[in-house]
């Protein structure tokens, strides 16, 4: 019986590491994708509540998700995300700070969030294409 760890064998560890990194990357892609969709829904709901007293409360709830999305975008290195970050920050400053519903702000917010969603959709599609072969290959690690 050898003392070598099977997981650290040359080819096996590379495959394991590749699979592990792929899963980590997926987690970091899915979180902002979900946040973008959630904020878009909040935005619609807040605008629908524009005639009621729940408008400001809805905007407060939307703010937390918005800040999370902005933090995720700050970590992206792609220049497209930098431009999107600026658009989202501008929409946040002008639209989330308004006390009264504004059609122009709602449209601006929806367009910016839709653009962000498209960027994350593209990233997820690229991810799926890149790692499709990993998920279709059976694992060479022995069952425990």
Average pLDDT over residues 70-80: 83
The 10s digit of each residue's pLDDT in 123-139 is 888 888 877 765 565 55
The 10s digit of each residue's pLDDT in 80-115 is 888 888 988 888 888 877 777 788 888 888 899 999
Share of the chain above pLDDT 70, in %: 72
10 Å CB burial of residue 99 (0-12, 13-18, 19+) is exposed
User: Does residue 23 have a pLDDT over 70?
Assistant: no
User: pLDDT band at residue 75, thresholds of 50, 70 and 90?
Assistant: confident
Concatenating the DSSP letter of every residue in 114-134 gives: HHHHHHHHHHHHHHHHHHHHH
Structure-token pair, residue 10: 């040359």
User: pLDDT band at residue 9, thresholds of 50, 70 and 90?
Assistant: very low
User: pLDDT band at residue 29, thresholds of 50, 70 and 90?
Assistant: confident
Q: Which residue has the higher pLDDT, 94 or 6?
A: 94
Query: Across the chain, what does the average pLDDT equal?
Result: 75
Average pLDDT over residues 2-24: 51
Q: Spell out the domain ranges in the chain.
A: 53-132
Q: How crowded is residue 18: how many other Cβ atoms within 10 Å of its Cβ?
A: 12
């Amino acid at each position: 019986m050898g003392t070598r760890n099977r997981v650290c064998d040359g080819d096996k560890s590379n495959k394991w590491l590749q699979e592990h990194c792929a899963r980590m990357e997926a987690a970091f892609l899915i979180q902002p994708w979900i946040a973008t969709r959630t904020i878009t829904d909040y935005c619609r709901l807040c605008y629908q509540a524009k005639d009621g007293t729940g408008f400001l409360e809805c905007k407060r709830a939307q703010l937390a998700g918005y800040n999370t999305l902005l933090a995720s975008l700050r970590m992206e290195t792609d220049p497209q995300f930098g431009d999107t970050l600026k658009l989202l920050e501008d929409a946040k400053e002008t639209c989330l700070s308004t006390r009264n519903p504004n059609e122009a702000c709602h449209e601006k917010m929806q367009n910016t969030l839709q653009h962000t969603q498209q960027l994350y959709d593209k990233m997820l599609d690229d991810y799926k294409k890149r790692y499709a072969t990993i998920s279709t290959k059976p694992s060479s690690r022995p069952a425990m």
